[in-house]
A and B are shown apart, each in its own frame.
Chain A
C-alpha cells in the first residue's frame, strides 16, 4: 500500500488512479514521476505553443481583426472584464496572474476530453495553486495594511486589547487554501471517477451517451470550477488589499 498516489483500484477495468512512471531517490526519499507530471507538461506545452503562435500573430495585428486575432482579443477582453469587475482599480496588477491560472486550470480540467487524466485531479497540483493564492493574500495584506490595522482586523469582532478571537480568525485564514484546493480537487476527481466507473462498469453499454456526461463533468463542471477558483482568488486578494488608496 503506497497511499493514494499509487494505490490500485480494486476492480481491474476501473482505472482512475494516478500511476507512477518511474521513481528516483531524492535525499533518501523515494520520489515518483507520475502521470500527473506528464499531463501537466502536455498542458503547459499546449499553452506555451498557443502563446507563441498568438504572440507572432499579434506582432503584426490588423486594424480589422480576423481569424486567430479575433479569438485572442475575445479571450483577453472577457477575462479583463471579469478581473476588472471584481478587483476594480487593482485589476491591472493581477490580470496577468489571473489569466495564467484561468488558462491552466481550464485546460487541465477539460484535458479529460482528450484522454488525459486531468492534472487538477491530483491534490498536489491544486494545493500548489491554492498556496500561491495564500501567499498572494498575505503579501498584499502586509503590503497595503499597517501591522496595527492587521492586528485590529484579526482581533475583530472583539476590541484589539482582548485577543481571544485571534486563534479563531487565524484558523479561518489557514482554512482558505485548504478549502480552495480541496474544492477544485474534489470536483475534478468526482468527474474523473464517475467517467471511469461508466467506462469500466458499463463498458458494453457505453456508446455515444457518455458524451453527454463528458459535456457535464468535463466542460460544465470544469468551466464552473475554473471560474470559481479565479473569482475566489480575486475576492480574497481584494479583501486583503482592503480600501487602501
Chain B
C-alpha cells in the first residue's frame, strides 16, 4: 500500500482538526463556571434575575470565543486544506 504525501497531509490534518476542537474543553469549563456563579447569584438575590442572566450570557459569549477559534481552525484544516499545495 502506497501512501502519497498528499494523503499523509490530509490524514494529519484530520488529527489536527480533532486536536483543535479540544479548545472546547476550556470553553466548557469557563461557561460552566459562569453559569454556576450566576445560579449562586440568583440564589442570593432572586430579584436581580434578569440582570444576572444578561451579564452571564454576555460573559459566556466572550468566553466562547476561544472555543470558536479552535472550531474555525479545524474547519479550515478539513475543508479549505491550506496545507495541501
Least Cβ–Cβ distance between A228 and chain B, in angstroms: 4
Is the Cβ of B65 less than 8 Å from the Cβ of A225?
A: no
Interface string of A205-245 (1 = CB under 8 A from B): 00000000000000000001101100110010000000000
Complex CA gap A183/B72 in Å reads 10
A182's partner among B62, B72, B80 (CB-CB below 8 A) is: B72
Question: Is B75 positioned at the interface, with any CB of A under 8 Å from its CB?
Answer: yes
Interface string of B30-53 (1 = CB under 8 A from A): 000000000000000000000000
Q: Which 6 pairs of residues, A with B, have the shortest CB-CB distance?
A: A186-B68, A228-B61, A4-B80, A183-B65, A186-B72, A231-B58
Contacts across chains A and B counted by CB atoms under 8 Å: 42
Is the Cβ of B68 less than 8 Å from the Cβ of A228?
A: no
Is the Cβ of A193 less than 8 Å from the Cβ of B58?
A: no
> Hey, which chain B residues are within 8 Å of A228, CB to CB?
57-58, 61
Interface string of A1-36 (1 = CB under 8 A from B): 101100101100000010000000000000000000
Is the Cβ of B65 less than 8 Å from the Cβ of A179?
A: yes
Complex CA gap A228/B57 in Å reads 7
Question: Is A189 positioned at the interface, with any CB of B under 8 Å from its CB?
Answer: yes
Q: Is the interface of A mostly helix, strand, loop or mixed?
A: helix
> Hey, which chain B residues are within 8 Å of A7, CB to CB?
79-80
Least Cβ–Cβ distance between A86 and chain B, in angstroms: 9
A-B contact pairs, 5 of them (CB 8 A): A9-B79, A183-B68, A187-B64, A225-B61, A231-B58
A-contacting residues, B1-44, CB 8 Å = none
Closest to B66 in A: A179
Complex CA gap A231/B55 in Å reads 10
Question: Is B71 positioned at the interface, with any CB of A under 8 Å from its CB?
Answer: yes
Least Cβ–Cβ distance between B46 and chain A, in angstroms: 19
Complex CA gap A71/B76 in Å reads 42
Is the Cβ of A227 less than 8 Å from the Cβ of B57?
A: yes
Is the Cβ of B68 less than 8 Å from the Cβ of A182?
A: yes
Is the Cβ of B58 less than 8 Å from the Cβ of A232?
A: yes
> Hey, which chain B residues are within 8 Å of A17, CB to CB?
79
Is the Cβ of B80 less than 8 Å from the Cβ of A193?
A: no
Question: Is A190 positioned at the interface, with any CB of B under 8 Å from its CB?
Answer: yes
Is the Cβ of B75 less than 8 Å from the Cβ of A189?
A: yes
B68's partner among A9, A187, A232 (CB-CB below 8 A) is: A187
Least Cβ–Cβ distance between B4 and chain A, in angstroms: 16
Of B68, B71, B80, the most chain A CB neighbours within 10 A belong to: B68
